[in-house]
Structure 1
């Protein structure tokens, strides 16, 4: 079964490369801050039709099929604050796959945690080496930012697969999307998030839990930061209670397969 999944993912990657790519130099570099109208009453988050069309043009995505009660759990790891090990313990206990988007600093500072992520079946994604605004760097620098993370991750983990990219701070442009695709990276945004990264202004586990439960919707790509004590303490209960509501936790690899072979464009508004 695992070999079949790897073969399927390889096919996805081939189709991704063969799809049309507009040269990055020919498109706008106007910065865009990723954002959306938050989910209410479990309806899909809505970034608006222009953004949806732009993401679809470059095979980027921010959520899965809104008709399926799937959740895709992702974390951004810029630096370690002592909670990632506990997060991994919860995921292992609950048998939940996740994606961790890491920076160069994180790879150098926490190689054992990165290895554990990969060893336990999680995706180690690309959050750039220095966490810059990618709209302000040259094409050459952008390539170096992404390739450095890719190469270090592969060296640490032995993992080679679809290179998922999360632009730092959610700032991007059409040029960034075009260049990323040209380089073989798959941009991943999100449809559920909240302010959780201020380590000196944590509000208690209930805040994190309530945000997750109130914004959840079918096809959610959930973004959490592992520096948050609130997230670490809320995660176990949130997973349990979301499963009781009928949600299933799936991997970004599963989403990639679904998009490629079943319903490539989920995001019609």
Structure 2
């Protein structure tokens, strides 16, 4: 430990030091002190103004979670209550054993049909957050998702770091281009559910999404399932997805994961055996306890 030397307050040091000096020297010193104070004050104001001028969009943050224990909701970068201000969610505040399935769809590599089959077998609703190329290249899968009662959400057109977008017009364009593709395929308006690419967000972006009528969804349970050359084993996947499930969980999975496609039917069965049921994000949004 470093011991701090006791220093007399500056207001007491200056008069005693000045008393030993000639009046003219004192005047010069006082003027120097005044100039230094004024310069420091103006510099501080300038720095504060510069900090204020920087857009919050340049301070993007990755959504992150802290494990709280098996069967317990993790802590997030923000609380459920804090996210409510922006119509955003990462879990439901409930003791009921209900979970919400979501899939991020960056492209199609043959796994989505198997995922849809497993969901249909268990009558489990899900939300698929899709990017532009997935919608454009897979119209039949989009129609199948809708016909099976799933929600198709917006994961942006080009999957950029949305926290670097400071213009609401540019933000709107990333979302509206996906909306237009979806409407061309289904003849319906897209549900305004949004997930930030890679979970990168800023409060400014959350405000933009809210202004555009979107609900934003993060997650409370995910695992590293997106690396194509390093797919988790079935055992590794079950360990994470069974061990960290909790009441009110929003589960994030990727449709590109071969492991997910292979284990999903058994995973849903095992969650059911643990007493869990599957809800729709639509229920979460309308639930007063969300």
Aligned to 1:211: 240
Aligned to 2:138: 110
Q: 1: distance between equivalents of 2:156 and 2:217? A: 13
Equivalences for 1:40-79 in 2 at 5 Å? 40-48=69-77, 50=78, 52-79=80-107
8 Å Cα contact 1:205/1:229 also seen in 2: no
Q: 2: distance between equivalents of 1:136 and 1:80? A: 27
Q: Deviations over 1:87-109 (max 9, x none)?
A: 00111111110000000010111
Aligned to 1:19: none
- 54-63 vs 153-162, greater mean Cα deviation: 153-162
Match status 1:193 vs 2:209: no
8 Å Cα contact 2:179/2:190 also seen in 1: no
Match status 1:184 vs 2:230: no
Equivalences for 1:256-267 in 2 at 5 Å? 256-258=285-287, 262-263=288-289, 266=290
- 71-80 vs 152-161, greater mean Cα deviation: 152-161
- 239-248 vs 151-160, greater mean Cα deviation: 151-160
8 Å Cα contact 1:128/1:149 also seen in 2: yes
Shift of residue 173, structure 1, vs aligned partner: 0.3
Q: 1: distance between equivalents of 2:133 and 2:68? A: 33
TM-score where L is the length of structure 2: 0.77
Q: 2: distance between equivalents of 1:114 and 1:162? A: 13
Q: What SS does the corresponding residue of 1:82 show, helix, strand or coil?
A: coil
TM-score where L is the length of structure 1: 0.83
Match status 1:87 vs 2:115: yes
How many residues are treated as equivalent by the alignment? 236
Shift of residue 111, structure 1, vs aligned partner: 1.0
8 Å Cα contact 1:77/1:102 also seen in 2: yes
Query: Greater RCO between the two (CA within 8 Å, min separation 6)?
Result: 1
Shift of residue 155, structure 1, vs aligned partner: 2.3
Match status 1:253 vs 2:282: yes
- 34-43 vs 80-89, greater mean Cα deviation: 34-43
- From 111, 123, 132, the equivalent of 2:160 is 132
Aligned to 2:17: none
Aligned to 2:28: none
Unaligned runs of at least 5 residues, structure 1: 1-24
Match status 1:148 vs 2:180: no
Aligned to 1:16: none
Q: 1: distance between equivalents of 2:75 and 2:232? A: 27
Shift of residue 248, structure 1, vs aligned partner: 0.7
- 60-69 vs 158-167, greater mean Cα deviation: 158-167
Rg larger in structure: 2
Aligned to 1:11: none
Q: 1: distance between equivalents of 2:187 and 2:150? A: 13
Shift of residue 47, structure 1, vs aligned partner: 1.1
RMSD: 1.8
8 Å Cα contact 1:39/1:216 also seen in 2: no
Shift of residue 205, structure 1, vs aligned partner: 2.1
Q: 2: distance between equivalents of 1:169 and 1:70? A: 25
Shift of residue 156, structure 1, vs aligned partner: 1.4
Match status 1:238 vs 2:267: yes
Q: 2: distance between equivalents of 1:26 and 1:254? A: 38
Shift of residue 160, structure 1, vs aligned partner: 3.1
- From 52, 64, 71, the equivalent of 1:35 is 64
8 Å Cα contact 2:87/2:214 also seen in 1: no
Q: Deviations over 1:13-67 (max 9, x none)?
A: xxxxxxxxxxxx998322111001135220111115x554541221200011331
